[in-house]
């Protein structure tokens, strides 16, 4: 079993959502944050050969980075990482000790708002959030535009940063904690259901993110 560059990118991203993960046989990988405010699913380029759990995914990826073009072999109680005569055996986790996504997938009959979010706009907004040290991002319908806004809803006088990303005839404010927006840099179709959740979907990765209770829709 080998993991190519894109699969490794997905694994590194998923490790920021939840440090632990359950692998299942096939090319689909899913994770959920420990507080269950963010869930993600990826269609991997590489096949996973079996079912196993890893308690510290970042550590496993760090170990594999020591090798040139490593292979991963699944043993009874450990995963063996090897390349060019060198090897590490890494012990599996007990699946009962980690938080895993529910078996039932999220389904929404119809979304209230949908728009395209470019990789460039997402990167610019996340950079602004970091520079301004703002704890929230809002998707806003205002004056005919859909905006991304970096802000602090608990401090109305705080700095704000806006990017226009679409058009709408609706008025709404969907607030997200920036800690829940651990997205790969990509182009996304964003779909919002005002009852509870937003969906960010790219070609191979999909995220479901909880909307904060101080959101509003008119």
pLDDT tens by residue, 31-59: 999 999 999 999 999 999 999 999 999 99
CA distance 109 to 123: 30
CATH of the domain spanning 5-97: 3.70.10.10
Give the class (CATH, top level) of 113-217. alpha beta
DSSP string across 125-137: HHHHHHHHT-SEE
Q: Alpha-carbon torsion 161, 192, 181, 178, what sign? A: positive
Compute the distance between CA of residue 42 and CA of residue 29 in angstroms, rounded to an integer.
5
Q: Residue 175 and residue 194: Cα distance in Å, rounded?
A: 11
Tell the burial category of 216 from Cβ atoms under 10 Å away from its Cβ (0-12, 13-18, 19+): exposed
Whether 5-97 and 113-217 share one fold: the answer is: yes
Rounded to whole angstroms, the Cα distance separating 75 from 69 reads: 19
Cα separation of 204 and 43, whole Å?
Answer: 5
**pLDDT tens, the chain, 218 aa long:** 999 999 999 999 999 999 999 999 999 999 999 999 999 999 999 999 999 999 999 999 999 998 888 999 999 999 999 988 889 999 999 999 999 998 888 888 888 899 999 999 999 999 999 999 999 999 999 999 999 999 999 998 889 999 999 999 999 999 999 999 999 999 999 999 987 899 999 999 999 999 998 888 87
159: which DSSP letter? -
- Delimit the domains of the chain by residue range: 5-97, 113-217
């Amino acid at each position: 079993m080998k993991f190519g560059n894109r699969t490794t990118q997905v694994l590194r991203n998923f490790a920021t959502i939840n440090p632990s993960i359950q692998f299942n046989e096939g090319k689909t990988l899913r994770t959920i944050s420990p507080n269950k405010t963010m869930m993600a699913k990826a269609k991997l380029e590489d096949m996973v050969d079996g079912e196993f759990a890893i308690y510290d995914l970042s550590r496993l990826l760090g170990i594999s980075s020591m090798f040139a073009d490593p292979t991963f072999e699944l043993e009874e109680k450990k995963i063996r990482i090897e390349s060019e005569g060198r090897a590490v055996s890494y012990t599996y986790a007990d699946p009962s000790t980690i938080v895993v996504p529910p078996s039932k997938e999220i389904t929404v009959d119809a979304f209230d708002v949908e728009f395209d979010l470019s990789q460039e706009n997402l990167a610019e907004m996340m950079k602004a959030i970091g520079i301004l040290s703002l704890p929230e991002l809002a998707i806003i319908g205002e004056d005919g535009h859909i905006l991304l806004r970096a802000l602090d809803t608990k401090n109305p006088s705080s700095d704000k940063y806006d990017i226009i990303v679409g058009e709408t005839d609706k008025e709404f404010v969907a607030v997200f904690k920036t800690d829940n927006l651990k997205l790969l840099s990509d182009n996304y179709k964003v779909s919002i259901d005002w009852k509870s959740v937003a969906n960010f979907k790219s070609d191979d990765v999909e995220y479901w993110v909880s909307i904060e209770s101080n959101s509003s829709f008119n």
